[in-house]
Amino acid sequence: MIMELLVFTAAFFSVFLLGLNSKLMRDDKIVAGALVSWFITCSQYAMTWVVVHAELATVTYLLCAGAGGSIGITISQYFYKWLTKHKLHKQTGD
């Protein structure tokens, strides 16, 4: 059960951060995008480590990674909406 959770978590953060970075770059938040890119690198390293060490059946791996990724991209969209409403626009004066 630990490896399944690690696969889910690694996929979640990898896709969450990719989705977040996509929104940041679309809105020309270049410094924030550069910072998030470092976290993407870390999350993809973790994902690679988990893939090598998980020793899960293919179906189990795909279910855990697919669930983590789909939840990650969904939450990143809501997080960015919250962030732009409460933080980013206050800093830029929009």
| 87 pLDDT higher than 80 | no
Domain ranges of the chain: 2-92
pLDDT digits (tens, 9 = 90+) for 25-45: 999 999 999 999 999 999 999
User: What residues contact residue 71 under an 8 Å CB cut-off, 6+ apart?
Assistant: 12
- Per-residue model confidence (pLDDT) at position 94: 46
Global pTM reads 0.86
Residue 13 to residue 19: CA distance in whole angstroms: 10
Joined tokens for residue 69: 């990724």
Q: Terminal CA-to-CA distance of the chain, rounded, Å?
A: 46
> How far is Cα 79 from Cα 85, in angstroms, rounded to an integer?
10
Average pLDDT, whole number, for the chain? 91
Contact in structure between 79 and 36 (CB atoms under 8 Å): no
Structure confidence by residue, pLDDT tens digits, 38-81: 999 999 999 999 989 989 999 999 999 999 999 999 999 999 99
